[in-house]
Structure 1
Amino acid sequence: MSNRARVLVSRRTQAGLVRLLQAMMVALLGIGLYVGDASIMTNATIGLLVTQLPAILERRYEITMNVGLVLWITLAMSLHALGTVPLPGLDFESLYGATWWWDHMTHALSSSLVVGSAYAITRALQEHTEHLHMGPRFTLVYLLIFVMAFGVFWELIEFYVAIGAQVLGIPRVLTQYGLDDTVLDLIYNSIGGLLVAIFGTTYLTGVSDQIRDRLEAGSANR
């Protein structure tokens, strides 16, 4: 089999996995509707909406993502949605409640998406304007600070959503497991962000270049 054929099969496989994971989230949404669980419904719906963003960006802004990036986004959202579902093999507890590392894994994946987005946009802005320049080391520090700040912001959202649900007497759609868990979440956020900042930026160059082209086209039309 030629290298070209192997790449083609790989892309087809990745596209198939994307569709499979999206179908799983549709099934999770159905389960949430059937059992009346607001957390499952909310997380499955948000996951499905986020996985539609690559298609929306392509249709409206002609920004095309590699299928591997789409799989990365879909995997992160589907694992998060799956973690909210009570499973029979876990005595009908969710993966978040029964598996100590599930929450940390999904935080690392989610933070990697945040860092990837921040890098693609920042690189595009640097190439679009001469007034912004950050060297590789500064970019690494910037991305880590960005993901840590976003992580703190998300933990605050989880906290206030949990408090609001308790006050209003409605089911929680986000759950906090205590201060120790919050600290660990922030650590895993940083790990996910660091891995993307060091190893993943190469895969985001194409998206960044397309964003730059859109910025330049917008400037030319003014």
Structure 2
Amino acid sequence: MNLRDAVGLTDSSLWLAVRGLQLLLLGIAGYAVATLNFGLVVNAVLPLLVTLTPEFVAWRYDHTMSGGLALWIATAAFLHSVGALGPYKWVGWYDQVTHTLSATLVAGVGYALVQALDESSDAVDFPPKFRFLFIVLFVVAFGVVWEIAEFASGGLASLVGGQAVLAQYGMSDIVLDLVFNGLGAVAVALWGTGYFDGVATVLSRGIAGVFGRQES
């Protein structure tokens, strides 16, 4: 399945949008440095690095990601960075939007992982129901780890002073985050796994190269 066809744009247009988001992230990082806002620096630089995932995959594994998937990654990273500027506090639903979008990418990674394991060995065969459950649980587990990181960030900030790198807004926020993480996971598990088949193929080659293909 081609995400470029789904959004109705040419691949070059999608990559142009990716570069635009990367420039905006670079601008946010520059603003964070100029204002000595360490938390914002982290929340701009790390997302910017995430948007370079397609370049890393092309360099390391000689695989070109589609412009649509690259834009998907860049949009999730950009929205998180923008949220750190204030919308996470000002707009009640903004956090849920970013969590849902980010969860779809985590779900894609979970699918790619289980698909790669299936492709790289004849000794295993994961049925569709298992893959669905694995994707959802993979996202839920990642979400729990993220919430723990938010609490840890807040605790560290209270000990050493300064602003927490990751914001946490209480128990109700945690519940909403996990619910919308789950919605993103289910959406990908039901309708979006095809967008990550290329990633699964890359992982499959890597697994086969490290461990060798296991024959049944």
Please, what TM-score do these two structures have when normalized by structure 1?
0.88
**Alpha-carbon distance in 2 for matches of 1:143, 1:96:** 27
Equivalent residue for 1:74?
74
3-state DSSP of counterpart to 2:192: helix
Does the 8 Å contact 2:61/2:202 carry over to 1?
no
Change (3 A) 1:214 1:160: closer
1:215 to 2:207 alignment? yes
Does the 8 Å contact 1:64/1:207 carry over to 2?
no
2:90 to 98, 107, 120: 98
Structure 2 counterparts to residues 42-81 of structure 1, below 5 A: 42-81=42-81
**Alpha-carbon distance in 2 for matches of 1:206, 1:33:** 37
RMSD of the TM alignment (CA)?
1.8
3-state DSSP of counterpart to 2:10: helix
Shift of 1:216: 3.2
Equivalent residue for 1:88?
none
Does the 8 Å contact 1:63/1:211 carry over to 2?
no
2:119 to 119, 127, 131: 127
3-state DSSP of counterpart to 2:162: coil
Does the 8 Å contact 1:15/1:71 carry over to 2?
yes
Please, what TM-score do these two structures have when normalized by structure 2?
0.90
Does the 8 Å contact 1:11/1:68 carry over to 2?
yes
Change (3 A) 1:32 1:213: same
**Alpha-carbon distance in 2 for matches of 1:68, 1:180:** 33
**Alpha-carbon distance in 1 for matches of 2:144, 2:8:** 41
Q: Percent identity?
A: 36
Q: What letter is aligned with 1:103?
A: D
Does the 8 Å contact 1:38/1:172 carry over to 2?
no
1:113 to 2:105 alignment? yes
Equivalent residue for 1:38?
38
Q: What letter is aligned with 2:162?
A: I
Equivalent residue for 2:186?
194
Q: What letter is aligned with 1:188?
A: F
Does the 8 Å contact 2:11/2:66 carry over to 1?
no
**Alpha-carbon distance in 2 for matches of 1:15, 1:8:** 13
TM-superposition CA deviations, 1:167-201 (whole Å, max 9, x none): 11122111100000100000000011111111110
Equivalent residue for 1:28?
28
Shift of 1:156: 0.6
Equivalent residue for 1:161?
153
**Alpha-carbon distance in 1 for matches of 2:182, 2:211:** 35
Q: What letter is aligned with 1:42?
A: V
Gaps of 5+ in 1: 1-6, 86-93
3-state DSSP of counterpart to 1:201: helix
Gaps of 5+ in 2: 1-6
Q: What letter is aligned with 1:75?
A: T
Structure 2 counterparts to residues 6-25 of structure 1, below 5 A: 10-25=10-25
Q: Which runs of 4+ in 1 moved over 4 A?
A: 217-221
3-state DSSP of counterpart to 1:83: helix
